[in-house]
């Protein structure tokens, strides 16, 4: 039975490479992870940080010569906050290593984030406002802790008009 996105993969993932955030699963108690602060607060929990560090150290110890890290992170939702805290952790623990961060945003059509008009409901406006704030905070915080930050989108404007 299919329960997670990874159930659709044909490739077997190592159990240490996937960390499921239980409270934000489809049937979780918190709903969806839509704000930067929600993502950031996930890594305030010492148990979560310890689990993340254990998984990271597992892979780092396997490297003969660790040169750096690549981080792929959504910018438009709460995962921007998670990514910001992860890059901060990497920067603190592995200060001499490079961190290449890819900030990902989906290509969207007819999205007017800064446009207030009669065509958008208040819920659409709030959703677009969250998207704008997540993207702005994500770019600032991720680029601050990365050696190189590259925003990536199929849209020429990162989905922001």
CA distance 94 to 79: 22
DSSP state letters, 33-98? --SHHHHHHHTTSHHHHHHHHHHHHHHHTT-SS--EEEEEEESSSTHHHHHHHHHHHHHHH-TTSE
Residue with tokens 């959703």: 127
3-state secondary structure of 19: coil
Contact yes or no for 100/71 (Cβ under 8 A): yes
What are 20's two structure tokens?
């499921």
Do residues 81 and 135 touch, judged by C-beta distance below 8 A?
no
Number of helices (H), then strands (E), belonging to the chain: the values are 4, 3
pTM of the model: 0.80
CATH architecture under which domain 5-153 falls: 3-Layer(aba) Sandwich (3.40)
pLDDT digit of tens for each residue in the chain (161 aa)? 777 766 777 777 788 888 877 776 655 555 678 889 988 998 888 888 999 999 999 999 999 999 999 999 999 989 999 999 999 999 999 989 999 999 998 876 554 444 444 455 677 788 888 888 999 999 999 999 999 999 988 877 665 55
């Amino acid at each position: 039975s299919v329960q997670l996105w990874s159930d659709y993969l044909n490739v077997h993932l190592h159990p240490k490479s996937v960390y499921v955030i239980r409270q934000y699963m489809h049937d979780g108690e918190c709903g969806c992870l839509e704000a930067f602060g929600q993502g950031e607060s996930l890594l305030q929990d010492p148990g979560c940080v310890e689990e993340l560090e254990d998984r990271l150290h597992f892979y780092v110890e396997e490297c003969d010569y660790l040169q750096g890290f690549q981080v792929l992170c959504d910018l438009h939702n709460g995962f921007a906050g998670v990514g910001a805290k992860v890059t901060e952790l990497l920067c603190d623990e592995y200060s001499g290593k490079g961190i290449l961060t890819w900030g990902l945003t989906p290509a969207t059509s007819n999205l007017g984030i800064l446009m207030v008009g009669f065509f958008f409901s208040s819920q659409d406006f709030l959703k677009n406002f969250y998207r704008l704030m997540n993207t702005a905070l994500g770019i600032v915080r991720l680029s601050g802790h990365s050696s190189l930050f590259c925003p990536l989108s199929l849209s020429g404007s990162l989905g922001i008009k």
